[in-house]
């Protein structure tokens, strides 16, 4: 990742990261520490070589770092950040889950919350069948079991 | 391609925990894994966070036919009313004069004392041994003292059919011991409360290990220390201009809520009460247009049907008159800033019958109780601590 054009305070120190498909990234410390994992590494003193991230592919890592960059920018307003987040997370499911798992693995709380909320929003307002279709989930209840489970709280199911 | 199924069950649980209860109930029917995550007793649903957003329950009793009873529940998180099924009236024929709700339970207090958990998968009825004094519309508090079984404190409402009740009996207080299934007589309510000691003229709030009793019109207040079993001295708590008010136990503060008259007109105000000194400080005033939207007429006593209940971060204000189908509004008190945010509660889903008695209360709801809630007795009812 090339250094940013935004005027950011930098110690000049950069971290080198390597995705699972061997793409390398260079990122300012101030940006990387959005991830608790990197934060601890920086605090404990980090090795010279690139940090391997066997759980994240290059494409996803690029996106994540882009997000961290935006969120590390001190000049950006809260409104602009919210708008950015809304656009950032409006992605296909596959990308969304990759982002979610990366945020979890790298321990980036805000990004994880953003991604989880997005998935939660996809569940709201849908019927059980619609939910299954959206997420490609198999209904493993037998008809009797399903009837039993629906009866439990029928008042909450209908309009 | 990465799919939802690639997510670990921890992440799935995290995502599901962001959903409001009604959505969770739907989600629990999607597949077995979701059902098992959601109905687990340790599932961290947003609504299980202690008391932040209690539901508002409205039970309407119809005097001619119990078929016309109706009950509704409002979820503030999803901003929706639910019409509860007939089974939400667990008691065979609750007479309007002895039916009340509090802290996750419905009660009848006469002719016998019985309770049933609300929104529980099995609406079991538990009948206790008889009260020492038969009561109608008492004040009632539910607390858990070092136990997972609920204890009940009842104050006031003493009625003997045909007999006059003398003053001492009227002030009698009892506490239920679930382990012995017995009612212990406690020191009586201070004599200042001798006139009018049923829930129609008294408001109560459980806060900080004390049961506060407050005269809605008289403005007398006294608190019963549940551990030491003593009543505090009676004080008068009347901010200037107050006509009538209710005492409410919010998450971290005691609140007084009521109608206040000033040269500018009437308003509905909230005050924070210091539990030690009973000093009050105003924290909010309901927007005028919101207050007037709850009422129809211009009569002087229109506010008489106004009631107020609250818990956690929410205070509900509503009109008990059928005319406008029981309109309500809610105030959310932000715990950090103390700022108050008022909004209208949506209309009740039609049809709404004309009830001759409306029982309303706030309660947190337990998803676990709704979905699984143990077949056994009250042991399995997930404690809703104060």
Taking one residue from A and the other from B, the number of pairs with CB-CB distance under 8 angstroms is: 95
Residue A5 pLDDT exceeds 50? no
Burial class (CB in 10 A: 0-12, 13-18, 19+), B243: middle
The pLDDT tens digits for A7-18 are 444 567 888 999
Determine whether the interchain pair A100/B30 forms a contact, defined as Cβ–Cβ distance below 8 Å.
Answer: no
User: Is any Cβ of chain B less than 8 angstroms from the Cβ of A86?
Assistant: no
Sequence-ordered list of residues with C-beta below 8 angstroms from that of B192, at least 6 positions apart, any chain:
B218, B220, B222, B234
How many separate helices (H) and strands (E) can be counted in chain B? 6, 25
CA distance A83 to chain B (A): 21
Q: Which of A108, A145, A152 is best to mutate for the B interface (most B CBs within 10 A)?
A: A152
SS3 A146: helix
Determine whether the interchain pair B29/A146 forms a contact, defined as Cβ–Cβ distance below 8 Å.
Answer: yes
Kindly report the pTM of this predicted structure: 0.83
Angstrom distances, CA of residue B267 to CA of B67, B135, B296, B351 = 38, 34, 16, 31
User: Is any Cβ of chain A less than 8 angstroms from the Cβ of B77?
Assistant: no
User: Is any Cβ of chain B less than 8 angstroms from the Cβ of A4?
Assistant: no
pLDDT for B385: 38
Q: Are B361 and B142 contacting, i.e. CB atoms less than 8 angstroms apart?
A: no
Facing residue for A153 by CB, picked from B4, B83, B370: B370
pLDDT for B51: 56
Q: What is the Cα–Cα distance from A2 to A7, expressed in whole angstroms?
A: 14
User: Is any Cβ of chain B less than 8 angstroms from the Cβ of A148?
Assistant: no
CA distance A53 to chain B (A): 18
Give the residue among B115, B151, B156 at the shortest CA–CA distance from B133.
Answer: B156
Closest chain A residue by Cα to residue B27: A128
The pLDDT tens digits for A86-135 are 999 999 999 999 999 999 999 999 999 999 999 999 999 999 999 999 99
Cα three-residue angle B298-B299-B300, rounded to 5 degrees: 120
User: Is any Cβ of chain B less than 8 angstroms from the Cβ of A41?
Assistant: no
Q: What is the Cα–Cα distance from B47 to B97, expressed in whole angstroms?
A: 31
Q: Which of B31, B79, B88 is best to mutate for the A interface (most A CBs within 10 A)?
A: B31
Please give the order of strands across the beta sheet that includes B328-333. Answer: B306-311, B314-319, B328-333, B340-344
- Which residues are paired to B225 by β-bridges? B210, B230
**pLDDT exceeding 70 applies to what percent of chain A?**
89
Task: Please state, as a whole number, how many other Cβ atoms lie within 10 Å of the Cβ of residue B373.
Answer: 23
Determine whether the interchain pair A136/B3 forms a contact, defined as Cβ–Cβ distance below 8 Å.
Answer: yes
- Which residues are paired to B214 by β-bridges? B203, B221
Facing residue for B4 by CB, picked from A116, A120, A137: A137
Sequence-ordered list of residues with C-beta below 8 angstroms from that of B303, at least 6 positions apart, any chain:
B243, B244, B259, B266, B295
Q: SS3 string of A97-114? A: HHHHHHHHHCCCHHHHHH
Q: Are B295 and B288 contacting, i.e. CB atoms less than 8 angstroms apart?
A: no
Residue A46's pLDDT band, with cuts at 50, 70 and 90, is low
pLDDT for B375: 52
Q: What is the Cα–Cα distance from B169 to B229, expressed in whole angstroms?
A: 18
pLDDT for A70: 94
Q: What is the Cα–Cα distance from A115 to A98, expressed in whole angstroms?
A: 10
Determine whether the interchain pair B11/A101 forms a contact, defined as Cβ–Cβ distance below 8 Å.
Answer: yes
Determine whether the interchain pair B16/A120 forms a contact, defined as Cβ–Cβ distance below 8 Å.
Answer: yes
pLDDT for B204: 94
Residues on chain B touching A149 (C-beta within 8 angstroms): 28-29, 35
Determine whether the interchain pair B1/A94 forms a contact, defined as Cβ–Cβ distance below 8 Å.
Answer: yes
Residues of chain B falling short of pLDDT 70: 46-51, 94-97, 161-163, 196-197, 373-386
The pLDDT tens digits for B221-231 are 999 999 999 99
Q: What is the Cα–Cα distance from A82 to A88, expressed in whole angstroms?
A: 10
Task: State the ipTM, two decimals.
Answer: 0.88
User: Is any Cβ of chain B less than 8 angstroms from the Cβ of A151?
Assistant: no
Reported residue count of chain A is 159
pLDDT for B379: 45
CA distance A152 to chain B (A): 7
Tokens standing for B372? 């699984």
Q: What is the Cα–Cα distance from B20 to B16, expressed in whole angstroms?
A: 9
Residues on chain A touching B86 (C-beta within 8 angstroms): none
pLDDT for B205: 95
The pLDDT tens digits for A54-84 are 999 999 999 999 999 999 999 999 999 999 9
Q: Which of A111, A153, A158, A159 is best to mutate for the B interface (most B CBs within 10 A)?
A: A153
Angstrom distances, CA of residue A144 to CA of A148, B227, B313, B337 = 6, 50, 41, 50
DSSP E strand stretches across B208-249: 210-215, 220-225, 230-231, 235-236, 242-249
């Amino acid at each position: 990742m090339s250094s940013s054009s935004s005027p950011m305070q930098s110690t000049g120190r950069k971290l080198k990261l390597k995705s699972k498909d061997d793409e390398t990234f260079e990122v300012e410390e101030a940006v990387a520490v959005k991830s608790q994992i990197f934060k601890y590494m920086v605090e404990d003193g980090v090795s010279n070589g690139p940090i391997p991230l066997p759980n994240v592919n290059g494409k996803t890592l690029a996106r994540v770092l882009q997000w961290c960059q935006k969120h590390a920018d001190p000049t950006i307003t809260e409104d602009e950040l919210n708008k950015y987040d809304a656009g950032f997370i409006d992605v296909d499911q596959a990308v969304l889950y990759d982002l979610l798992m990366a945020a979890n693995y790298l321990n980036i709380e805000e990004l994880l919350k953003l991604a989880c909320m997005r998935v939660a929003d996809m569940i709201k307002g849908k019927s059980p069948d619609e939910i299954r279709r959206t997420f490609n989930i198999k209904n493993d209840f037998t008809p009797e079991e399903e009837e039993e489970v629906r009866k439990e709280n029928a008042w909450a199911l209908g309009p | 391609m990465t799919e939802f199924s690639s997510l670990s069950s921890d992440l799935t649980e995290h995502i599901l925990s962001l959903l409001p209860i009604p959505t969770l109930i739907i989600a629990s029917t999607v597949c077995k894994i979701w059902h098992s995550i959601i109905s687990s007793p340790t599932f961290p649903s947003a609504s299980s966070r202690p008391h932040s957003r209690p539901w508002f329950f409205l039970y309407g009793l119809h005097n001619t036919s119990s078929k016309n009873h109706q009950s509704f529940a409002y979820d503030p998180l999803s901003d929706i009313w639910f019409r509860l099924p007939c089974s939400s009236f667990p008691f065979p024929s609750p007479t309007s004069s002895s039916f009340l709700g509090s802290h996750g339970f419905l009660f009848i207090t006469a002719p016998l004392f019985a309770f049933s958990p609300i929104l529980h998968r099995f609406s079991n009825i538990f009948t206790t041994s008889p009260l020492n004094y038969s009561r109608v519309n008492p004040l009632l508090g539910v607390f858990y003292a070092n136990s997972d079984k609920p204890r009940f404190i009842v104050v006031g409402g003493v009625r003997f059919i045909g007999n006059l009740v003398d003053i001492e009996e009227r002030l009698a207080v009892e506490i239920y011991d679930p382990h012995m299934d017995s009612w212990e007589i406690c020191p009586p309510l201070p004599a200042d409360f001798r006139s009018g000691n049923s829930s129609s003229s008294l408001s109560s709030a459980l806060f900080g290990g004390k049961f506060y009793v407050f005269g809605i019109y008289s403005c007398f207040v006294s608190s019963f220390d549940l551990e030491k079993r003593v009543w505090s001295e009676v004080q008068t708590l009347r901010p200037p201009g107050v006509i009538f008010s209710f005492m409410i136990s919010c998450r971290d503060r005691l609140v007084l809520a009521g109608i206040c008259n000033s040269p500018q007109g009437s308003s509905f105000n909230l005050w924070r009460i210091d539990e030690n000194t009973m000093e009050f400080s105003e924290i909010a005033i309901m927007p005028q247009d919101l207050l007037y939207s709850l009422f129809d007429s211009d009569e002087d006593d229109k506010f008489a049907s106004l009631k107020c209940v609250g818990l956690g971060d929410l205070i509900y204000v509503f009109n008990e008159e059928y005319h406008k189908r029981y309109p309500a509004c809610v105030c959310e008190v932000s715990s950090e800033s103390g700022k108050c945010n008022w909004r209208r509660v949506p209309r009740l889903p039609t049809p709404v019958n004309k009830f001759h008695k409306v029982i309303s209360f706030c309660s947190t709801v337990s998803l676990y109780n709704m979905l699984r809630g143990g077949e056994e007795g009250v042991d399995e009812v997930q404690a809703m601590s104060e």
